[in-house]
């Protein structure tokens, strides 16, 4: 699954058939492993989490919208993280304009609880976004998640099905975190992973300069704004 995850970061359009051929396993096995990892090829199908048809789905509000200041748009997502003898799931909340990571959480299951914990931490300060964007996963369409946004009078936006680029900034964050930290360090346990990610996100926000931010750090841009 780790090797599949690395390939998916490079070739997100690979489905189970191509994954199976690439690694010399059956299409069915590749499909089962991709389901565990929460990934699907980038074509019109839901990704990362499954939609609950009983939950309300909100329209995508950000098409052709210019993001010109901090706290205009925040978003969140979940990604699969491999460790020896198992795997974890990582979620984070990011400010689109500054790329600042407002909060993050790890879990060994694709539940709603750790997503809500990350959201509540992000909203615990004095700042909040005008719009909050997610995919259509059941974690985000659940009333227990959307109620926190509604209580804070935040507009809810959701990606179109199979449209990963609707949430492009956090997709880029996952690639950066994996290639600059997770794949390099090969954490042995959930505790090592959590400790390592704490160090990395501190580096990412406070030390790592971004060319798209005129070589400033996310923390500089977010605090200045």
Pair 30, 95 in one domain = no
Same domain, 166 and 108: yes
User: Which of the 8 DSSP states describes residue 160?
Assistant: P
Q: CA–CA separation, 111 vs 117, rounded Å?
A: 11
Instruction: Give 43-52 pLDDT, tens digit per residue.
Output: 443 344 455 5
Residue 59: which pLDDT band, with cuts at 50, 70 and 90?
very high
C-alpha 16/C-alpha 190 separation (Å) is: 28
Whether the predicted pLDDT of 161 surpasses 80: no
- What do you get for the CA distance between the two ends of the chain, in Å? 40
pLDDT band for position 37 (50/70/90)?
A: confident
Mean per-residue pLDDT for 21-49?
Answer: 76
Q: Are the beta carbons of 39 and 125 closer than 8 angstroms?
A: no
pLDDT for residue 64 is more than 90: no
CB atoms within 10 A of CB 224: 9
pLDDT for 48: 45
Q: Are residues 164 and 98 in the same domain?
A: yes
Residue 143 belongs to some domain of the structure: yes
Q: How many domains does the chain have?
A: 2
| Residue 59, in any domain of the structure | no
- For 204-218, what is the mean pLDDT? 95
Residues 78 and 167: beta-carbon distance below 8 Å? no
Give me the chain's average pLDDT, please.
88
- What was the pLDDT predicted at 160? 66
The residue ranking higher by pLDDT, 200 or 1, is 200
Residue 117 lies in a domain: yes
Report the range of poorest mean pLDDT among 108-112, 159-163, 198-202, 213-217: 159-163
The torsion angles phi and psi of 162, rounded to 5 degrees, stand at 75, 10
Judge contact between 71 and 128, C-beta under 8 A: yes
Q: Residue 187 is encoded by which pair of tokens? A: 């954490």
Note whether 93 and 192 are same-domain residues.
yes
Tell me the CATH number at 188: 3.30.420.10
Query: Which structural domain, as residue segments, surrounds residue 146?
Result: 73-224
Higher-confidence residue: 20 or 160?
A: 20
Query: 176: left (phi > 0), else alpha (psi -120 to 50), else beta?
Result: alpha
62 inside domain? no
At residue 207, the pLDDT reads 96
Same domain for 140 and 201, yes or no, is yes
Q: Is a pLDDT exceeding 90 seen at residue 150?
A: yes
- CB burial of 30-61 (b: ≥16 within 10 Å; e: otherwise) equals beebbeebbbbbbeeeebbbebeeebeebebe
Measured CA to CA, the distance from residue 24 to residue 16 in angstroms comes to 12
């Amino acid at each position: 699954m780790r090797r599949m995850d690395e390939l998916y970061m490079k070739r997100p359009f690979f489905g189970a058939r191509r994954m199976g051929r690439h690694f010399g396993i059956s299409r069915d096995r590749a499909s089962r492993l991709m389901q565990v990892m929460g990934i699907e090829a980038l074509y019109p199908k839901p990704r990362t989490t499954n939609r609950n048809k009983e939950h309300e789905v909100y329209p995508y509000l950000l098409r052709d919208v210019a993001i010109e200041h901090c706290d205009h748009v925040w978003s969140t997502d979940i990604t699969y993280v491999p460790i020896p003898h198992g795997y974890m799931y990582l979620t984070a909340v990011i400010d689109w304009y500054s790329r600042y990571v407002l909060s993050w959480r790890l879990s060994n299951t694709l539940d709603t609880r750790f997503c809500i914990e990350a959201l509540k931490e992000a909203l615990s300060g004095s700042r909040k976004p005008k719009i909050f964007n997610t995919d259509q996963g059941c974690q985000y369409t659940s009333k227990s998640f959307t109620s926190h946004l509604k209580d804070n009078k935040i507009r809810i936006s959701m990606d179109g099905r199979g449209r990963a680029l609707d949430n492009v900034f956090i997709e880029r964050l996952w690639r950066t975190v994996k290639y600059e930290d997770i794949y390099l360090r090969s954490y042995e346990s959930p505790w090592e992973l959590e400790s390592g990610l704490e160090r990395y996100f501190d580096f990412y926000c406070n030390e790592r300069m971004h060319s798209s931010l005129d070589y400033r750090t996310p923390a500089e841009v977010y605090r200045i704004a």
